[in-house]
Amino acid sequence: MQKYSIFTLARNAANYHKGWGLAWRSPEPKSEYDIVIIGAGGHGLATAYYLAKRHNLTNVAVVEKGWLGGGNTGRNTTIIRSNYLQDESAAIYELSRSLYEGLAQELNYNVMFSPRGLFMLCMTEHELRGFKRHAHANRLSGIESRMVSAEEVKRKIPILNVSPTARYPLLGALYQPRGGTARHDAVAWGYARGADNLGVDILQNCAVTGITRRGGKVTGIDTVKGHIKAKKVAIVTAGSTTLLGDMAGLKLPIESVTLQACVSEPIKPVLDVVIMAGTVHGYMSQSDKGELVIGGGADEYNNYSQRGSFPAIEHTITSLAELFPIIRRLKMLRQWAGIVDMTGDRSPIIGKTDVDGLYLNCGWGTGGFKSIPGSGLVFADTIANDRPHPIAEPFGLNRFAEGRLIDESIAAGVAH
Amino acid sequence: MPDLDRNLALSHRHQEMENQALGIEMSERDDVGMIDLRGKADDKAFMKNAATVLGVELPTDPRTSIKKGGIDILWLSIDQWLITTPLKSHDKTLSALTKKLTKNHALVCDMSDARSIIRLSGDRVREVLIKGCSFDATQPDFKPGTVRRLLFAEVAALAHFVDSNPDVIDLYVFRSYANYVWEWLLQTAHEDAGVGLFQVQDAPVV
Amino acid sequence: MSGKPYRIPSSRSQGAFGRLIDRDAALSFTFDDKTYTGFKGDTLASALLANGVRLFGRSFKYHRPRGVIAAGPEEPNALVSVGSGATHEPNNRITDVELYDGLVATSQNRWPSLAFDVSAINNTFSRLIPSGFYYKTFMWPAKLWPHYEHIIRHAAGLGTAPQEEDEAVYEQVHVNCDVLIAGGGIAGLAAALAAAEVGARVIIADLSPRFGGAADCIDGKIDSAAPLAWAKKAVKKLAAMDNVYILPRTTVTGHYDHNWVLMCERLSDHISEADRLANRPRHRLWKVRAKKVIVATGAFERPLTFANNDRPGVMLASAARSYATRYGVTPGERAVIFTNNDDAYLTALTLQDAGVSVPKIIDVREDTKSALISRAEDAGIEIIHSSVISNVETSFGGTSIEGVQIATRTATGRLAQPFARIECDLVCMSGGWNPAVHLFAHVNGSVRFDDTLQTFRPDQTSEAIVAIGAANGHFDLSTTIDESFDKGYAAGKSATGKSRPKKAVPPKARQDERSPLEALWFAPAKGSLNEGNKHFIDFQNDVTAADIELAAREGYRSVEHLKRYTTLGMATDQGKTSNISALGILADTLNTTIPAAGATRFRPPFTPFSLGSIAGTQAKHLFQPVRRTPIATWHHDNNCDMEPVGLWRRPFCYRHGTEDRQAAITREILATREKAGIIDLSSLGKIEVKGPDAGVFLDRIYSNVFSTLKPGRCRYGLMMNEDGFLFDDGVTVRLAEDHFLMHTTSGNADRIVGWLEEWHQTEWPDLKLFITPVTENYTQFAVAGPHSRDILQKLESTIDFSREAFTPLDYKSGELCGVPVRIYRISFSGELSYEISVPANYGLAMWQALMVAGKEFGLTAYGTEPLHVMRAEKGFIAIGDETDGTVTPLDLDLGWAVSKKKVDYIGKRSLQRSFLKGDERKEMVGLLTDDPKEVLPDGCYAVEQLLDKPPMKMIGHVSSSYYSPTLNRSIAFGLIKNGRARMGDTLQFPLEDKVVSAKVVSPVFYDSEGERQNA
Amino acid sequence: MLLIKCPICDCEGDETDFHYGGEGHIQRPTSSNPDKVGDEAQRDYLYVRKNPRGLHSERWLCERGCGKWFHALRDTATMVISKTYLITDKPPAELKKAGKK
Ligand SMILES: Cc1cc2nc3c(=O)[nH]c(=O)nc-3n(C[C@H](O)[C@H](O)[C@H](O)COP(=O)(O)OP(=O)(O)OC[C@H]3O[C@@H](n4cnc5c(N)ncnc54)[C@H](O)[C@@H]3O)c2cc1C
Ligand SMILES: NC(=O)c1ccc[n+]([C@@H]2O[C@H](COP(=O)([O-])OP(=O)(O)OC[C@H]3O[C@@H](n4cnc5c(N)ncnc54)[C@H](O)[C@@H]3O)[C@@H](O)[C@H]2O)c1
Ligand SMILES: Cc1cc2nc3c(=O)[nH]c(=O)nc-3n(C[C@H](O)[C@H](O)[C@H](O)COP(=O)(O)O)c2cc1C
Ligand SMILES: [Zn+2]
């Protein structure tokens, strides 16, 4: 792998950057792999990377119907945090967040993880109580997270409207100092480059059309480029999970809906932290390029169109314009949507399925960008050893029959 | 008659209207009682009994209303009507209905205090309405007699087209929202905020 | 600067130039604090150009000096801030800003000044910062990244956000129409005439202040009229029709599912600030549902790709033409035209006519013939065929052009050998035209590559939308006219059912034929310098041809990867001028074709529009409704702290004099416990359920039984969702045999009406009953405390309040003070208590009457917080505190209200699932801290075992916690794993700075026998 | 922004005038057989959804019209609503056909 650094950059500059090679190959599919991962989003790519890196499993393909990173990984609002309430969630998200801290170095690809601090605003007494509970739980699980006063929030976010006559007076915030954002595309590209370099084949433009089984065991996949044999197959396709599940006869507690986002035109820095406001359903950060990155709600109806309806984004902007009155004269530059996979309890599913050799990682819904490294790590371990990694174990499919739901909706409202 | 004062949702706002530069006229109606009537349109006995008391058949065409004497009967659903009565005869109508319908599968509820009725009148009422709801009130088929439920300014509401030339439209909102809707109307109905839709216009620059 | 040399005299060519400006109406404005003069009708661009200003901004990354290249919404470079203070707005294209007197414009992204920008040094180091450089560096040492990032953040961004709050109002309107036409050029006007003629309701919107589009810049005739004259007539005709609505300054920003269209109308941005009306909306967002949408948005000219093509003075050929024609401005004195098509010849002719010297046209094509080309030749303009501009020579600092180098056209990649140099101060380029397909493509509309035009044009769609004219790839006037009338009639017909009237004769147009264009994606510069030279593709984001090659070399080959790696097309212009050129270069690099490479996805909005208009009227005091109870004015007058609960404002507590909240709460509790208190409970949900099956229905809704309740009696009930989790509670009253009244929590009131209707309609439609919410019809108060009976007995009433006649859980109706009331003897405070339900319009007067009557008994108004403390003292749960969506009634020890007998009710089956009936449940218990003064913080956790530091295993949390003035100590509820088995145990709650220990006890802290409420 | 028409009262309007109620025709097992519902059947009822890419039967509430629930057949990829029908109606034939594909 060509090393990336300021020195190689300078060396290549001399030659007008003609010396750079491919970040990843575009190989033809082999007829057989030990493991096939369906879906080259962040989760699929990270899984492949850790299979190769930590388990020495390199006869692996990641099969992608379009361009790698083109799913939700390439279209999310990039919020990273781990201040979740339930122990199971806190464990996996904090594992993930801590991996983000060293990810650029691990991958030798600057994913621009920016732990610039994240505020979840409390605007009702009820919300305040809920977040206090979060803070206590987080502290006892060893996650750096605490309540801060309205004054402290205002100091960090001067553009916030804290007028006592505001519709919802600010009562404080749950603050995670090392929550933040990362450059979403770079996470996919960094893992892709890392995995490719370790020998993983990334097969783009190769939609999976079938999952073949014999006697309750998986045998391979059909793709638009032909059949590929595999000993193990993992479905990591987010919004398309049901369609892949149907190919393997899985019954899944999943619905696909569109989640929306938009950006403003770029402006000079006005917001140096990430804010989330559950009461009014809005969240916002400012990217390094200067756009305000605004996350909206999901449309309620099942939707595979990757474009959303206007009311959801309107609702969010209306709220944010109230919290940050100065944005009224800024302009919306682009809006888009992704197809998110919502489970019955809004928590992910990671683990084995009833089909031997078939694994599932999905249900990250509106909040799985932050979990890419952690999920990849525990999922790779689960596949390699054919048993759930302890952190993944509570997220098995069986929880829905048992009623052992992992419900995070308690105070946050939004789950990003 | 009760010994206590009656306070409408907007009683505290009646004063301020003089200084407003609005493109329409608006006021709160304070002379009506309301009855929520439930029963099935295909229940002949119910329909007949209701008609006997009210002196007119309940309207069954969606989004229509019927006027009889001082009473307006507004279609709300296939099994629901809103009856507005002159306040002074309200109790009489209410008890007559209740009594007549005891044997029917029906529900008669006095809802005189649940809603506030804001009467909007003038040529630009429709323009104001389209600022608040996704229903296009400028369409020709929105005419006197029409009743339409709305999400108006994010508030559940009902518009009853009372009269035209000039347009008179009663906007019904639940009592607790009335003050907000009133404020909302003060802003959007301002005389400087006119739209002038689908009229002969001055030709723009070419 | 007088600006004289650049404003074409009105006398020239019989006044052919400057048709939009009023030379008698001079306007004064400032740009970067310098005052200039322009005319009414100018855009900020034309006015500044007329004043000789060429430098408008600095590019995003390299901070290169930039001029203006376009004359319309596609402008990538010339962005400025307009306004100041509360009206400051960043990132306005000067091409779209209409001039008004007193306009204040400021350049952006430069420091300390536009002419001298320190960051321009980036240009010198540009070789170190190609596309994606940041992915390759700033990684070591890791902890320095925040510093690098800080620098990057401050270097990026364009304008600054306003510092002051916007005072303008915004609004929205919703309308339906038969035919919506986006774009008011010849095509749009023609379609509007046709559709209106068959009686359709037509809306036609154009983003500019005027209609006619390119009509004043094209040749040809419509019938016998010049295109502009025809357009004028057409607009007059449309304006006189009452089925047509014409909207200037209105951008169609997006097309959404089912032909729902969003448009942003700007009503006051063009008016001088002093003349703006405070109540006239600044922007109005139109939400239009159209039966048919016609996209007549025209086309954008493509720049050509040559070294230093971004220098101020390089401009699109059509832009130069329109500045001259419309505003009487010549952007230079000596112009060279560089083109691969005929259209730019019109520019050459126009400029020459305007007095600009046009020495040469550099045409990429071999010797081509057409009427237009002959006209240029006849006018004495030299045409150099098969050639390109290979580089641009500039003054020091690159802020103006001195000349261009001309080379023979070579195959891509080969170096150029310039054979000539031409002096000039203006370069007009034309690389062909890209139809503005954006709106067509927003919903499912596909585009296909057209080999003749070398660009994408509309193809298939599932929506009722069509494109016409230039937006559909038609650049010939007669085709445009024919098509626009045809499609206009067809749209009108599909919407109204009416056909084109027999006597209608659409006009015929004719225009000289053009010779075809020839694609040119890259013109190399000279020698090895070529690689260092910058061939700009995306001007605003500083993406060069070399960046595209680099991305392709590194494997970012999908157009979407290319876009994201280089940021191509992601700037405020969204690649209107750049996307196709980039594809051309990508295709050349990868040795493939443009259609194989594909286009990136089109997304709304067409051009950026204000976030304020999206909020519309819902801003400031109108942001969200505030629901007021009938007692609101009294609360206000009595210094009540109101608390938002959903949309309601509820009294939290009332502060007397200098009291703080805690003192007020304590006072209100003690008064209620010792004397009497009154609380406004109006927001509680009230739902009537009536019919022969009402009892059966409620049995299925609630976990306990209601069919056995006697008329005139009340019962507390629990509602689970189908998952078995508790989600609401409240008292239900049996008003009569077949008639119930349910109470719900305030927050759930509306939801539960919907919940009941849904179950009734979808699962049990055979049950005979009606559900009617009556929440708003009644004000409800609780009068509680030992004196409550005395107070009620003092008032005139038909109801017997005596202890014997009105027993706990009784319901009675009658009159109080002459008003019909419903009264329930129920208690959430634990005191003797009556809940009184009064018709809302009498609520305030009733409250006041009670206050008067209660005065001698010490009646005190109390808020929701004192109520919460009192209910906790009594061991009552509160929805939202003890429940969080994961708690079952059994967890809360409410098993007595979970029927075992009833066959089926909502949630019953789910309660039997292994995890819900498992032995690891968190159970509700009371908690008493060892130190009675210590109040456990809300939401803190108990741990299995106390360790030095986290992580520690948590066994449960505090769900409610208060200081109880009644007991003069702290009390709390906890949801603790196996809590009921831990009675008497002491638990440890590690807080940030200390550990609090508390004993597990019964959750009923006060009057466990209920003597007080039964008094 | 979907345009929806209620089959009961003919009210036509934006999706915001209606309320989405999820997949249609889901049988509540305990309604017919309260005593014999296995954990899996209950799970399927509560959580498992068809979630097809294509024809989808779903419930909508006519919130600003008659207040009644009804069914719609909508394509989840194109958004085309091909049919609306009563809440008590059986699944239409085209839905079964689409399911088989
Ligand atoms: C608007 C929006 C905002 C969000 N904001 C946040 C946020 O702030 N923070 C956060 O943590 N999360 C956020 N999320 C969620 C987050 O983006 C996702 O949870 C995460 O990206 C999921 O990653 P993935 O790898 O599982 O899926 P994806 O990135 O979607 O990858 C799945 C891949 O599978 C491929 N695929 C599908 N079908 C097939 C097939 N048949 N054959 C082959 N390949 C196939 C797809 O093409 C796709 O590339 C947001 C999501 C959206 C849409
Ligand atoms: N040479 C030129 O300058 C030029 C450019 C385009 C078209 N033409 C010719 O002019 C004739 C008529 O062309 P046409 O009417 O198709 O195009 P046009 O360019 O004349 O008109 C398009 C109009 O649409 C408006 N518009 C664009 N996007 C919009 C949006 N999103 N919302 C609202 N308005 C929007 C523009 O302001 C413009 O007025 C054709 O014969 C064509 O060949 C010439
Ligand atoms: C964090 C983030 C920042 C973005 N910033 C921009 C931007 O500055 N300009 C832009 O045009 N799009 C921006 N986008 C949106 C993308 O252009 C694109 O719309 C999104 O990734 C979805 O892809 P699609 O529109 O191709 O479906 C951004 C997206 C994300 C996730
Ligand atoms: Zn209906």
The per-residue b/e assignment along C500-534, b for 16 or more CB within 10 angstroms, e otherwise, is beeeeebbebebeebeebbbbbbbbbbeeebeebb
How far, in Å, is the centroid of ligand 2 from the Cα of C352?
24
Find the domain containing B15 and state its range.
11-193
Domain boundaries, chain D: 3-27+43-97
Task: Report percent pLDDT > 90 for chain A.
Answer: 91
Decide: C230 and C223 in contact? Cβ < 8 Å: yes
- The pLDDT-based confidence of C823 (bands split at 50, 70, 90) is very high
- The pLDDT-based confidence of C2 (bands split at 50, 70, 90) is very low
* pLDDT tops 70 at residue C887: yes
Q: Is C660 helix (H, G, I), strand (E, B) or coil?
A: coil
What does the DSSP assignment read for D37-94?
A: --HHHHHHHHT-----SSEEEEEEEETTTT--EEEEEEETTT--EEEEEETTSPPPHH
Residues in chain B: 206
Nearest ligand 3 atom to the CA of C600 is: 26
Q: How far, in Å, CA of C234 to CA of C260, rounded?
A: 27
Q: What pLDDT is recorded for position B98?
A: 97
Of the options 3.60.40.10, 3.30.2270.10, 3.10.310.10, 2.60.120.380, the CATH number for the domain spanning D3-27+43-97? 3.30.2270.10
Over range C573-591, report the average pLDDT: 94
Tell me phi and psi for residue C239, to 5 degrees.
Answer: -65, -25
Is the Cβ atom of C484 under 6 angstroms away from ligand 2?
Answer: no
Per the prediction, chain C carries an average pLDDT of 95
Over range C204-226, report the average pLDDT: 97
**Where is average pLDDT lowest: B130-139, C190-199, C415-424?**
C415-424
Residue nearest to atom 9 of ligand 3 (CA): C570
pLDDT digits (tens, 9 = 90+) for C43-52: 999 999 999 9
For an interface test with B, the pick among C841, C844, C846, C852 (most B C-beta atoms closer than 10 Å) comes out as C841
Decide: B130 and B136 in contact? Cβ < 8 Å: yes
Is the Cβ atom of A44 under 6 angstroms away from ligand 1?
Answer: yes
Nearest ligand 3 atom to the CA of A70 is: 23
Find, in chain D, the residue whose alpha carbon is nearest to that of C464: D80
Find, in chain A, the residue whose alpha carbon is nearest to that of D39: A401
Pick from A79, A96, A187, A369 the residue to mutate for probing ligand 1's pocket: most ligand atoms within 8 Å of its CB: A369
ipTM above 0.90, yes or no: yes
Nearest ligand 1 atom to the CA of A364 is: 19
Could you tell me if residue B205 is inside a domain? Answer: no
Task: Report percent pLDDT > 90 for chain C.
Answer: 90
Q: What pLDDT is recorded for position C675?
A: 98
Q: What pLDDT is recorded for position A30?
A: 98
For an interface test with D, the pick among B60, B81, B147, B151 (most D C-beta atoms closer than 10 Å) comes out as B151
Q: What pLDDT is recorded for position C411?
A: 67
How close, in Å, is residue C426 to chain D by CA atoms? 47
Q: How far, in Å, CA of B74 to CA of B170, rounded?
A: 12
Over range C756-760, report the average pLDDT: 98
- The pLDDT-based confidence of C459 (bands split at 50, 70, 90) is very high
Over range B92-99, report the average pLDDT: 97
3-state helix/strand/coil string of C926-969: EEEECCCCCCCCCCCEEECCCCCCCCCCEEEEEEEEEEECCCCE
Q: What pLDDT is recorded for position C366?
A: 92
CB-CB under 8 Å, D8 with B151: no
Q: What pLDDT is recorded for position C363?
A: 97
Q: How far, in Å, CA of D1 to CA of A311, rounded?
A: 8
Q: What pLDDT is recorded for position A416?
A: 44
Q: The tokens 């305040």 sit on which residue?
A: A128
User: Which tokens belong to A242?
Assistant: 């049901």
Give the one of D16, D17, D66 whose C-beta lies nearest to B62's C-beta: D66
Q: How far, in Å, CA of B148 to CA of B130, rounded?
A: 13
Give the one of D16, D76, D78 whose C-beta lies nearest to A302's C-beta: D76
C990: left (phi over 0), alpha (psi -120 to 50) or beta: beta
Could you tell me if residue B87 is inside a domain? Answer: yes
Q: How many CA atoms lie within 13 A of B160 on its CB side?
A: 22
Q: How far, in Å, CA of A392 to CA of A395, rounded?
A: 5
Could you tell me if residue B203 is inside a domain? Answer: no
* pLDDT tops 50 at residue C1: no
CB-CB under 8 Å, C723 with D46: yes
Decide: A292 and C158 in contact? Cβ < 8 Å: no
- The pLDDT-based confidence of C374 (bands split at 50, 70, 90) is very high
How close, in Å, is residue A89 to chain C by CA atoms? 14
**Where is average pLDDT lowest: A345-359, C132-146, C291-305?**
C132-146
pLDDT digits (tens, 9 = 90+) for A28-83: 999 999 999 999 999 999 999 999 999 999 999 999 999 999 999 999 999 999 99
How far, in Å, is the centroid of ligand 2 from the Cα of C270?
22
CB-CB under 8 Å, C608 with A332: yes
* pLDDT tops 70 at residue A111: yes
Pick from C601, C602, C607 the residue to mutate for probing ligand 3's pocket: most ligand atoms within 8 Å of its CB: C601
How far, in Å, is the centroid of ligand 3 from the Cα of C304?
26
Could you tell me if residue B202 is inside a domain? Answer: no
* Residue B15: CATH number of its domain: 3.30.1360.120
How far, in Å, is the centroid of ligand 1 from the Cα of A366?
9
Q: How many CA atoms lie within 13 A of C472 on its CB side?
A: 24
Restricting to A residues 338-397, those with a Cβ less than 8 Å away from any Cβ of C are none
> Tell me, what amino acid is at C526?
K
Q: What pLDDT is recorded for position C136?
A: 93
Helices (H), C702-796: 749-758, 788-794
Of all ligands present, the nearest one to the C-alpha of C541 is: 3
Domains of chain C: 170-297+435-510 (3.50.50.60), 302-432 (3.50.50.60), 919-1015 (2.40.30.110)
Task: Check if C279 contacts B (Cβ < 8 Å).
Answer: yes
* pLDDT tops 70 at residue C1009: yes
Could you tell me if residue B161 is inside a domain? Answer: yes
Could you tell me if residue B182 is inside a domain? Answer: yes
Over range A368-391, report the average pLDDT: 98
Q: How far, in Å, CA of C736 to CA of C710, rounded?
A: 8
Which positions in chain A touch D39 (Cβ < 8 Å)? 401-402
- The pLDDT-based confidence of A413 (bands split at 50, 70, 90) is very low
pTM, entire model: 0.97
CB-CB under 8 Å, D68 with B78: yes
Domain count, chain B: 1
Per the prediction, chain B carries an average pLDDT of 95
Which positions in chain C touch D23 (Cβ < 8 Å)? none
User: Which tokens belong to C966?
Assistant: 């009644």
pLDDT digits (tens, 9 = 90+) for B164-193: 999 999 999 999 999 999 999 999 999 999
Task: Kindly report the number of other CB atoms within 10 A of residue A43's CB atom.
Answer: 33
Of all ligands present, the nearest one to the C-alpha of A416 is: 1
Residue A143: closest CA among C939, C995, C956, C949: C949
- The pLDDT-based confidence of A296 (bands split at 50, 70, 90) is confident
